[in-house]
Amino acid sequence: METQIDYFFKLLMIGDSGVGKSSLLLSFTAGTFDELSPTIGVDFKVKHVTVGGKKLKLAIWDTAGQERFRTLTSSYYRGAQGVVMVYDVTRRETFTNLSEVWAKEFELYSTNQDCIKMLVGNKVDKESQRVVTKKEGIEFARENGCLFIECSAKTHVNVQQCFDELVLKIVDTPSLLAEGAKGVKKNMFNQKTPEANAATGACC
């Protein structure tokens, strides 16, 4: 039987294909690293954390970056309290597409005006191949109202801190905290509904 939780939050990971979204998620949820194939459609993982003595359940949706999956992944923006926008510091186009594609998608599909955005520059372990400076990341985050961090899914540098800072900001936002409390009731209901479990399982 699942441990009693106090808050349930939905997080979403977005960004171009190959930037390391799935690897970041695996690093955070399982503490491991794999060179993963591009996500097909949507993947989903759960992580339990404790913040200020409260037990939180995080449902983290990992979306495909390929354009052909956009119509499928757009629906997953709904109800998200946090969005992780990932780019690869060694690939300029993945950073450019943050403003050209992903920020626009967020504005179009997000249903939560208080949703917290975390900008993540991944693959800092490849420092010699870097083409996007940290200063550029900081500037984009400032202009778009995002938290910002650089990390490496491969070496696990700053991965835990990335999600910790995002969750702390969510918990510190009254409207999102209230949603998280309501989410517990919805989550409990879904656990008791076999049909809902079957539907969710299809996305995993």
Q: For 105-160, how does the pLDDT look when each residue is reduced to its tens digit (9 = 90+)?
A: 899 989 899 999 999 999 999 999 999 999 999 999 999 999 999 999 999 999 99
Residue 30: the pLDDT is 85
Q: Domains in the chain and their CATH numbers?
A: 7-196 (3.40.50.300)
CA distances from 80 to 12, 42, 127, 131, 140 (A): 7, 15, 32, 31, 21
- Number of Cβ within 10 Å of residue 182's Cβ equals 11
Name the percent of the chain lying above pLDDT 90.
Answer: 66
- pLDDT, residue 95, reads 98
| Measured distance CA(119)–CA(172) in Å, rounded | 18
When the pLDDT of each residue in the chain is averaged and rounded to a whole number, the result is 85
Query: What does the alpha-carbon distance between residue 158 and residue 133 come to, in Å, rounded to a whole number?
Result: 17
CA-nearest of 116, 118, 127, 121 to 153 is: 121
What burial class does residue 105 get, using C-beta atoms within 10 Å of its C-beta: 0-12 exposed, 13-18 middle, 19+ buried? middle
Residues 52-70: tens digit of each pLDDT: 999 999 999 987 655 544 5
DSSP string, 30-48: HS----PPPP-SEEEEEEE
pLDDT at 195 > cutoff 50: no
Condensed to tens digits (0 to 9), the pLDDT of residues 90-105 reads 999 999 999 999 999 8
pTM greater than 0.75: yes
